[in-house]
Amino acid sequence: MGSEEGVFKWTDANTADLIVWRVSNNRLFTGRRNAAIKAFELYVKEKQLEGKVTPAWVRKKWENLKQKYKDLKSLNMAGGDTAIATWKWYAIMDGALSSEIPLNHFIKPDHVTSFAQDAPPIKQRKEEDWLIALREMERRQEERERQAAEREDERDRRAAAREEERDRRAAEREERRERQALEREERREREMFAREERWEKEMLAREERQEREYREREERREREAAAREERLFKLLETFLANK
């Protein structure tokens, strides 16, 4: 048949149908030689997949699902693994391969009554029960994924809020630094202006003092010169009077 993966594409509906059929027909898989391949031949025939996929390929698909479930189960028991939350078939395979989830847990009373009244064959009832359980497990998986997405959105919102708060605080710090720098600059300008004003006052006071001292010296010299002239005149008068 060539590469069956390129001929037949497994959809989610095909995969879910395979899981339901496999667990509903567990009695066919006795462990005897060729029992599994014969059972999958029956699956191909019942699902009208002749010419599309071989029983060996169906068996490989089932074994791959089962192996991945077991691998994730082991990782989870060893300490948890995030891949479990993202693999859509984990919860369904867990219900299919373990006896922890009874089918009746997922079946509503009115479904049970309906099954009893219709009285379908046992095999059909078992597949219907598994389909109901499968839908419930899919719903729970979707609910877990929705809650995980909501938690992720909440983390993103909180991260955005923290980032916004950091930006706001950084802007406040920058504004405070600019205000303090402006205040320091204004203070330096005021101090410089005060120094210049004080220097000008001191210069004016020195000039006034120097001018006053100069006038005082001039006045003292004039008084001393007048006193000398007066003494000279008196001596001259005395000299002339005695002559």
Q: Which amino acid is at 243?
A: K
Q: Under a CB-based contact definition with an 8 Å cutoff, are residues 71 and 89 in contact?
A: no
Q: How many CA atoms lie within 13 A of 129 on its CB side?
A: 22
- What DSSP character marks residue 28? G
CA-nearest of 1, 239, 24 to 124 is 24
Give the 3-state DSSP-derived string for 43-70, with helices as H, strands as E and coil as C: HHHHCCCCCCCCHHHHHHHHHHHHHHHH
- Its pTM stands at 0.43
Report d(CA 88, CA 138) in Å as an integer: 8
pLDDT, one tens digit per residue, over 199-242 is 888 888 888 889 889 989 989 888 888 888 888 888 888 888 87
pLDDT, one tens digit per residue, over 55-113 is 999 999 999 999 998 888 888 776 665 566 678 888 888 888 875 444 333 333 333 33
Report d(CA 5, CA 2) in Å as an integer: 9
pLDDT, one tens digit per residue, over 101-153 is 443 333 333 333 333 333 344 445 555 666 676 677 667 777 777 887 888 88
Report d(CA 146, CA 157) in Å as an integer: 16
pLDDT at 45: 92
Report d(CA 132, CA 142) in Å as an integer: 15
